[in-house]
């Protein structure tokens, strides 16, 4: 038997300075053996029986039991992809879509993009007529409904990671329930790592609806079935800290190094909150390693990770080294990592919170739920008994953490969601069937905002052409509005670049660890008008460097992200062409670009207020006091009026991606919005 990866050999020959360790070859089973040892394997027949005979099958099984990688393959074998039909499997996260599709292609011995494909926003890797299994984000599947409202290509749709309850998963579940009424032959599989099966089963229970089609005996039962997959995890010993820690990042680093020093072999998984945290911890661990902690192999895992680095995370460490993976919440259930024996849980994750009063949605580092803490601990027990080190007290776990996370629809802005529902022809938004209904106030706020940016008319119908065009573009509504407004202002060529730059994770290599270098690099491109115009400078300099990776490295710019920007820009440009919107360049005329930005983001207009607490901005909508984030090029400049793209909440509210504006434009751009506020 050999180590189960053909593809990775290329990586090794590309200069990674170690050979494939022979100890792993004997330790790893063949792919086929591995597949047969998964808990789901024994349930294959029951699963196929249920899918055949019921409309909706709910599958509950712990992370690693084989739901995501195996079920679609079983369905192909049972004939569900015959005759040009497709099997869809949705994921809330792009990175899970990519890694899982690659893994399944490998298991099926096919090239990715043929029998097994995937689709994420701006990236479709599949071959019509050949592809049988398609992994995709739930957002992309919702988008496919705009062209094919009943999703007729698909015979089976598996909604995976349903326990995460992301906005798009919840929205998708509501839409699929509608589709099922029109397509009773469509099979749904809802997969979840935790037991919330009963509420989902009740939601999909159509058995009481008497309809003519029910007389047709060939149709599946309308009562959902539940299949539980027996787990096979080992016990995990939980350690708590005695006293609360005040710096979870440093505590995570020192705990990790202590485990390395004191505990027998086995990989370590560290849960942090975001890419900047992860990079900072990586730096601290490597610094320590240079001071004597040898034998470690540290890797990051977060959403924006380039593909080549993703593969490293899934391969074994070089011989004699302990692998340490420093991850965001992604490793909680989305991806399966083999060989983890120790988990370090900081107890935090980055979460969205929406305040409908101030009408501001912010990203916040907040405590996770007890259910999440249990999932994280479970990651230590995959191969043998493990240990989980919680960097919070037992008292905090018992009394401060919520039992379960609040579904995201109850704590996010619903502007994009409602626009999409409208675009799918769902007029009565208030009566959309949600698994958990969002606050009415949030929906009203979203409708108001869509009206303000001209997407909806006073009857709450999509406007033509603006509303229809904005719905067509795979961009956040305000970004789409900015892009469309740029045509009339004669700067669509530039705003296209900005829109593409806003669609990637980050064009910068995270600054932590090399802060000074990063600051200097950013200064080189900084535009007095703000961060979005700065993106334009970076893009132009990147082109002038002939798209050089080395140039990117020297300037703290993420080469992979810049390649994505090029690709997304080309795709958006084709979409604009299709919408009949001409590409015009404003050359050195920056003001036109600023005006386009203001046209998109005017609802986030804020005015400088100098006070004892420092330079704060007050939002026109909601009157919230916000500071400019230190990562913004306008951090020190403090112009009188700005618009921003997003808000982050730590010790205070911070705005990010900030652009300076002239307040006189506001009444010109959105008279209805600004006049009624005075």
Question: Of these, 43, 44, 56, 63, which contacts ligand ADP (CB under 6 A)?
Answer: 63
The residue (of 326 and 471) whose beta carbon lies closer to ligand ADP is 326
Closest contact distance (angstroms) between CB of 90 and ligand ADP is 12
| Contact call for residue 196 and Mg ion (CB under 5 A) | no
Piece of 64-72, 417-425, 502-510, 530-538 that binds ligand ADP (CB under 6 A) = 64-72
Question: Of these, 64, 316, 467, 600, which contacts ligand ADP (CB under 6 A)?
Answer: 64
Kindly list the distances between the CA atom of residue 527 and the CA atoms of 10, 338, 522, 621, in Å, as whole numbers in the listed order: 42, 46, 10, 26
Q: How far apart are CA 383 and CA 266, in angstroms?
A: 9
| Contact call for residue 492 and Mg ion (CB under 5 A) | no
The residue (of 68 and 416) whose beta carbon lies closer to Mg ion is 68
Closest contact distance (angstroms) between CB of 118 and Mg ion is 14
The residue written with tokens 């977060």 in the block is: 302
Closest contact distance (angstroms) between CB of 69 and Mg ion is 7
Piece of 61-69, 129-137, 210-218, 568-576 that binds ligand ADP (CB under 6 A) = 61-69
- Both structure tokens of 44: 């294959």
Q: How far apart are CA 69 and CA 71, in angstroms?
A: 6
397-436: which residues touch ligand ADP (CB under 6 A)?
A: none
Q: How far apart are CA 25 and CA 35, in angstroms?
A: 17
Beta strands in 48-186 (DSSP E): 56-60, 86-91, 116-120, 123-125, 133-137, 154-159
Question: Of these, 3, 31, 38, 454, which contacts ligand ADP (CB under 6 A)?
Answer: 38
Question: Of these, 61, 274, 339, 367, which contacts ligand ADP (CB under 6 A)?
Answer: 61
69 binds, among ligand ADP, Mg ion, none (CB under 5 to 8 A by kind): ligand ADP
Piece of 59-67, 171-179, 405-413, 436-444 that binds ligand ADP (CB under 6 A) = 59-67
Question: Of these, 119, 194, 275, 336, which contacts ligand ADP (CB under 6 A)?
Answer: 336
Contact criterion met (CB below 8 Å) for 326 and 272: yes
> Maximum distance among all alpha carbons in the chain?
75
Closest Cα partner for 20 from 9, 7, 31?
Answer: 9
In the stretch 98-137, what mask flags binding to ligand ADP with x, by CB under 6 A?
-x---x----------------------------------
Please, what is the angle between helix 559-578 and helix 492-502, to 10°? Answer: 130
Contact criterion met (CB below 8 Å) for 337 and 264: no
| Contact call for residue 586 and Mg ion (CB under 5 A) | no
| Contact call for residue 91 and Mg ion (CB under 5 A) | no
Give the interface size with Mg ion as a residue count (CB under 5 A).
1
61 binds, among Mg ion, ligand ADP, none (CB under 5 to 8 A by kind): ligand ADP
List the Cα angle 438/138/599 in 5-degree steps.
70
Contact criterion met (CB below 8 Å) for 335 and 369: no
- Both structure tokens of 323: 């692998």
Q: How far apart are CA 166 and CA 171, in angstroms?
A: 9
Question: Of these, 122, 154, 204, 314, which contacts ligand ADP (CB under 6 A)?
Answer: 314
The residue (of 67 and 481) whose beta carbon lies closer to ligand ADP is 67
| Contact call for residue 457 and ligand ADP (CB under 6 A) | no
Piece of 60-68, 77-85, 133-141, 246-254 that binds ligand ADP (CB under 6 A) = 60-68
51-70: which residues touch Mg ion (CB under 5 A)?
A: 68
N-to-C CA span, the chain: 74
- Both structure tokens of 455: 């997407």
What residues contact residue 16 under an 8 Å CB cut-off, 6+ apart? none
Closest contact distance (angstroms) between CB of 89 and Mg ion is 9
Contact criterion met (CB below 8 Å) for 436 and 162: no
Contact criterion met (CB below 8 Å) for 607 and 487: no
User: Which helix (H) or strand (E) element contains residue 191?
Assistant: strand 187-192
Contact criterion met (CB below 8 Å) for 514 and 556: yes
| Contact call for residue 339 and ligand ADP (CB under 6 A) | no
- Both structure tokens of 141: 């599947």
| Contact call for residue 90 and Mg ion (CB under 5 A) | no
Complete DSSP assignment for 58-88: EEE--TTSSHHHHHHHHHHHTTTT-TT-EEE
The residue (of 314 and 673) whose beta carbon lies closer to ligand ADP is 314
SS3 state at 324: strand
Question: Of these, 44, 54, 69, 594, which contacts ligand ADP (CB under 6 A)?
Answer: 69
The residue (of 5 and 334) whose beta carbon lies closer to Mg ion is 334
The residue (of 193 and 670) whose beta carbon lies closer to ligand ADP is 193
543-562: which residues touch ligand ADP (CB under 6 A)?
A: none
In the stretch 82-101, what mask flags binding to ligand ADP with x, by CB under 6 A?
-----------------x--
Closest contact distance (angstroms) between CB of 439 and ligand ADP is 32
Beta-bridge mates of residue 301: 327
Q: Which residues form the interface with ligand ADP (CB under 6 A)?
A: 34, 38, 61, 63-70, 99, 103, 314, 336, 338
Q: Which residues form the interface with Mg ion (CB under 5 A)?
A: 68
């Amino acid at each position: 038997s050999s180590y189960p990866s053909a593809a990775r050999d290329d990586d090794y020959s590309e200069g990674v300075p170690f050979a494939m360790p022979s100890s792993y070859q004997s330790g790893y089973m063949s792919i086929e053996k591995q597949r047969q040892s998964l808990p789901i394997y024994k349930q294959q027949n029951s699963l196929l029986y249920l899918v055949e005979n019921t409309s909706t099958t709910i599958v509950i099984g712990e992370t690693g039991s084989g739901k995501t990688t195996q079920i679609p393959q079983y369905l192909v074998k049972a004939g569900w992809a015959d005759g040009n039909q497709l099997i869809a499997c949705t994921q809330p996260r792009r990175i899970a879509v990519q890694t899982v599709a690659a893994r399944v292609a490998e298991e099926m011995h096919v090239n990715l993009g043929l029998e097994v494909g995937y689709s994420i926003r701006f990236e479709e890797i599949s071959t019509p007529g050949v592809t049988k299994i398609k992994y995709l984000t739930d957002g992309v599947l919702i988008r496919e409904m705009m062209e094919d409202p009943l999703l007729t290509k698909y015979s089976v749709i598996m909604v995976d990671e349903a326990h995460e309850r992301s906005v798009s998963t919840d929205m998708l579940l509501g839409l699929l329930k509608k589709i099922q009424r029109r397509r009773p032959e469509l099979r749904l599989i809802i997969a979840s790592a935790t037991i919330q099966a009963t509420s989902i089963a009740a939601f999909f229970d159509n058995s009481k609806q008497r309809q003519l089609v029910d007389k047709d005996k060939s149709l599946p039962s309308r009562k959902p079935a539940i299949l539980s997959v027996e787990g096979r995890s080992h016990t995990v010993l939980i350690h708590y800290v005695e006293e609360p820690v005040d710096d979870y990042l440093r505590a995570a680093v020192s705990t990790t190094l202590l485990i390395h020093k004191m505990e027998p072999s086995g990989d370590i998984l560290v849960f942090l909150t975001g890419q900047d945290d992860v990079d900072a911890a990586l730096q601290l661990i490597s610094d320590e390693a240079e001071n004597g902690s040898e034998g470690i192999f540290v890797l990051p895992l977060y959403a924006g990770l380039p593909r080549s680095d993703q593969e490293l995370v899934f391969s074994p460490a070089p011989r004699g080294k302990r692998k340490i993976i420093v991850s965001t919440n992604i490793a909680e259930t989305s991806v399966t990592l083999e060989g983890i024996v120790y988990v370090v849980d900081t107890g935090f994750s980055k979460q969205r919170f929406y305040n409908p009063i101030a009408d501001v949605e912010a990203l916040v580092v907040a405590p996770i739920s007890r259910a999440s803490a249990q999932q994280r601990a479970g990651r230590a027990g995959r191969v043998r008994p493990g240990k989980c080190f919680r960097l919070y007290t037992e008292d905090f776990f018992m009394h401060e953490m919520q039992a379960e996370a609040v579904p995201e629809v109850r704590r996010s802005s619903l502007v994009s969601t409602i626009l999409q529902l409208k675009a799918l022809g769902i007029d009565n938004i208030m009566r959309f069937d949600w698994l958990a209904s969002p606050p009415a106030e949030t929906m009203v706020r979203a409708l108001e905002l869509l009206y303000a940016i001209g997407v909806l008319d006073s009857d709450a119908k999509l406007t033509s052409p603006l509303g229809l065009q904005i719905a067509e573009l795979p961009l956040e509504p305000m970004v789409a509005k900015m892009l469309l407004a740029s045509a009339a202002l004669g700067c669509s060529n530039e705003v296209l670049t900005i829109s593409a730059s806003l669609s990637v994770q980050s064009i910068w290599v995270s600054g932590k660890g090399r802060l000074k270098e990063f600051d200097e690099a950013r200064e080189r491109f900084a535009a007095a008008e703000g961060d979005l115009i700065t993106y334009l400078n970076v893009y132009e300099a990147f082109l002038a460097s002939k798209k050089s990776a080395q140039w990117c490295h020297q300037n703290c710019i993420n080469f992979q992200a810049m390649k994505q920007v090029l690709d997304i820009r080309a795709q958006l440009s084709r979409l604009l062409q299709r919408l009949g919107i001409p590409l015009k360049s404003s050359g050195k005329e920056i003001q036109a670009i600023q005006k386009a930005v203001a046209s998109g983001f005017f609802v986030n207009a804020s005015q400088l207020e100098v006070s004892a607490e420092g330079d704060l901005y007050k939002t026109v909508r909601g009157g919230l006091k916000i500071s400019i984030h230190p990562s913004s090029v306008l951090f020190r400049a403090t112009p009188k009026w700005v618009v921003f793209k997003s808000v982050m909440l730590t010790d205070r509210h911070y705005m990010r991606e900030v652009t300076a504006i002239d307040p006189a434009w506001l009444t010109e751009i959105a008279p209805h919005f600004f006049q009624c506020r005075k």
